Chains A and B, each alone.
Chain A
Amino acid sequence: MGVGLAALSQETAPRLAQALVAWERAALLGPELRDRVNAAKTSWLVAEPLEELHAYDCTPVGVYRVLASDGSQILPDRHDHIPCFLVNVGLVDISYIEGTARLTSTPSVSWSPDEVYPFVGGSRQEADGRVVGARRFAAECDALKDAIAEHTVALMDGTLLLWWLEPEPDRLRGLHPDDVKTQTFAALNDFLGEALTVGALVGSYLSSPRTNDVVSMLKVVLCTEDPVDCDRCPYDSGAKAWHAQLEIAGASLLPVPSKPCEEAHPVTDASLFRSLLAPGQRSARFRSHAKVARAYDVPIDFVYLHVGGEISRLEFPAWTTPSALERLVGAVFDQCNKGLGYPVALAEAHEQAVVRAADRRSFIELARRNGVSRPSAKLARKRQGVL
């Protein structure tokens, strides 16, 4: 496996070099870049640059109050016949102003028919992993909404972009207010709205992101057409031919680029910014053009951070002002310094939320004692453990 990974890494290196060349070209385009990106009709998600493309030095902020939430769950189990699920939300409130910390977790069990058989996208379905994930996300938003105050930094884990719940936001319009999707988007919008009202900063932190919106922006730069229109790609139609550049002779793991945009494939934003940022620096600010963000009251922006051990992505609402962004990023860098490379408040929120195997066993045992669990024959046989 090691040999295979080394070979892939060797083959990706020229692609990264092409992406870096495109980055230089993009930086020189200035405001023209934004116009080119906004005019492009692409089949991939393209980030819109909001600042000049260079690395920005950041100063860690040491005196602030941070709130972080994270969730965990016990899913309904087919073999245990448990017709309920549990969401546990960990909330951490650390004040470096007063030197205090409050670590709490709030479990909630959902068991009513409307909860375990809810409306999802207009029709009733059994609560599965996606439904419980949505309930958990909404509970994380609610926990932060109730706790934030002026000047606090509110952190969430993962992306603010709920593409996994509904990639087509137009479909949300006709849904019932009680629909899981409607309620989840409403919870996020309410939380962001409250944060704006009270003057709190909001950031959602992605460790080891696999996103590539910025590399997709570079693909727009690499494209020879103007304006870029993937539906009318001359290389796909055969009107033009592309001769791959910087390819390694005999390379076989990656397909040879047949059009200019493929020159930067499969470089990720994280690998790109590992070459562009030094520890303690952030990228330029970008705006996500993810379709799902249309369902939000506010667009979602993001930056990449070099936190020392890795490149991470920080998403935040577009109403975050430049000075607020500096405070937010400064706090996140400080959190990573204190948390050995990962925001300490998020790590502790996770620890508060996590449902361990013993907790899961206790939950199932309680459900069994109360007569709501009846193991399937397969599971009962497994548990007997007899010869």
Chain B
Amino acid sequence: MNRLGEIVEASTTRLRAVAPQTFEGPAFGSFVKTSDGSRTTYGVVAHVEHVSIDPSRRAIPLGRTWEELRREQPQVLELLTTEFEACCVAFAEQDGALCAYLPPVPPRVHDFVEACTPAEIVDLTEDLSFIRTLGATGIPIVTELIAAAIRSAAGHHHDQRVYLVRAGREVADLFRQDYELASSIIRRIRVSDGQKARR
């Protein structure tokens, strides 16, 4: 099991988890899942941060490289933690049917978060409804989040270019009232010349 973290806060729209190893959190925009034994909730990583383990203590500049810190101040690593937040986008009941909308109840605190398998990501992103769900989160970096999620999903689809074009059309359609938002997402998922050449 590729354990990415343990949930410390959860709601029907978001979950917050602590990574088991500092500095080893999941990638922004990647797809994750958590299961309580009967229901699996899927989400997209919307925020990753490295913070002090104690909210009342801040890290201060120490003027040392990480190699020097490990040798001279090894406790520093123990006092930092990596936390991440994921926006819920779908869930599946025990029978396996995927529901591309928010779960009826939040995931449980202390359940583990894992990375979705490539097959799960394909199932989860085939109908593109996650874009609408992410767009409704209202978070300030929604443009970056949707673009990162589409890029993350595209790599798992058989024809990446076709998928990106479909996703671009979905974005244009969903955000047709907000040209700036739609165009900024599309700019961020555009296939680069290098990617075209590789195909």
User: Residues of A with Cβ closer than 8 Å to B?
Assistant: 62, 92, 94-96, 99-103, 338, 344-345, 348, 351, 356
Nearest opposing residue in chain B for A93, CB measure:
B75
Partner among B56, B57, B74, B77 whose Cβ is within 8 Å of the Cβ of A96: B74
A338 CA / B77 CA spacing, docked (Å)? 15
State how many angstroms separate the Cβ of A354 from the closest Cβ of chain B.
Answer: 10
A94 CA / B77 CA spacing, docked (Å)? 12
Q: Is B58 interfacial (CB-CB < 8 Å)?
A: no
User: Residues of B with Cβ closer than 8 Å to A?
Assistant: 54, 56-57, 70-75, 77-79
Partner among B54, B56, B57, B75 whose Cβ is within 8 Å of the Cβ of A94: B75
* Interface contact tally, CB-CB below 8 A: 30
CB-CB < 8 A to B70: which residues of A? 99
A62 CA / B75 CA spacing, docked (Å)? 15
Q: Is the CB of B71 within 8 A of A101?
A: no
CB-CB < 8 A to A356: which residues of B? 56
Nearest opposing residue in chain A for B60, CB measure:
A340
CB-CB < 8 A to A345: which residues of B? 75
CB-CB < 8 A to A103: which residues of B? 75, 78-79
* Leading 8 A-B pairs by shortest Cβ distance: A101-B75, A101-B74, A99-B70, A99-B74, A101-B78, A103-B78, A99-B71, A348-B75
CB-CB < 8 A to B77: which residues of A? 101
State how many angstroms separate the Cβ of A352 from the closest Cβ of chain B.
Answer: 10
Nearest opposing residue in chain B for A339, CB measure:
B73
Q: Is the CB of A96 within 8 A of B75?
A: no
Q: Is the CB of A351 within 8 A of B78?
A: no
A100 CA / B70 CA spacing, docked (Å)? 7
A95 CA / B54 CA spacing, docked (Å)? 22
A100 CA / B72 CA spacing, docked (Å)? 10
Q: Is the CB of A96 within 8 A of B78?
A: no
CB-CB < 8 A to B72: which residues of A? 62, 96, 338
